[in-house]
Homo-oligomer: A and B are copies of this chain.
Amino acid sequence: MAKLDFSPIADTTRRAEIVALLRRAILTGQLEPGQKLNELRISEQMRVSRAPLREAMRELVQEGILTSIPYAGTFVIDVTAKDIVDAYSLNQVLDEFAIEQTWPQRDQRFFDELDRRHEAVKQATRALDTTRQIETALQLHGLIYEWADNSVLLETWQRLTSRLQMYFALHQRARNEPVPAEDVHETYVTLLKGSDMHAAQRHAREHIDLDFEELLSYARGLEKRASKN
């Protein structure tokens, strides 16, 4: 009998689809930080009753990208400069750990997948698709977490990713500039294929810092604007 691995079939609940829709809207910045989500309006737009919508929102609240105040409403989280600093400093620590855990497990499949994701980033960059560029870059970065073989670490990373993607999307949207054409991930990929783990860890830390500076200045701008209101 031929050995064939079937992947689990897709979740076909409205709830799951709503979660995906809402998450996408938030992470791409279509729903802005602080914005209130009106249950009736959204449920009518999606042609869905409020029950699955509310359950979906509850999930996203736990995921950390929505926040809920009883009898007042559910809102997209606000983004402060401190949030970004917090997320990034934690990300640095987790990166180091993930690389350490992944290091001895690297094999050909890992390298292939690394190249594949790297290629996806380059393609999105060439296509000037900023949203997809952010998405693919985070997926490239997430490989070390998937390979670390630590479910709790992976969950943590995925939660963090949501925020990071949201921050980057906001930033991109705000400055509205063409994306950088040069490939900033080349060194990262090369180091992950190499034999010097500490160098890879060091680079992860520094590389992150790079985009981080820009993000931060954007966030500080946000706060200045907010304080004027």
Contact = CB atoms under 8 A, between A and B. Distances in A.
Quickly give the copy total for this chain. 2
Contacts of A83: 151-152
A16 B11 CA distance: 27
Interface in A58-72: 58-59, 61-64, 70-71
Given A13-B70, A55-B54, A58-B55, A150 B90 contact: yes
B86 A150 contact: yes
A163 B90 CA distance: 20
A66 to B, nearest CB: 11
B156 A70 contact: no
Interface residues of A, number: 34
Contacts of A62: 58-59, 61-63
Interface in A30-64: 51, 54-55, 58-59, 61-64
B93 A155 contact: no
A121 B82 CA distance: 33
A89 interface: yes
A7 interface: no
A97 interface: yes
Contact of A152 (B87, B152, B155): B87
Given A55-B54, A70-B11, A156 B90 contact: yes
Ranked 5 nearest A-B pairs via Cβ: A62-B62, A86-B150, A58-B58, A93-B97, A86-B152
Given A13-B71, A156-B159, 13 more contacts: A11-B70, A51-B54, A54-B55, A59-B59, A59-B62, A64-B152, A82-B151, A86-B153, A89-B101, A90-B152, A90-B156, A93-B94, A156-B156
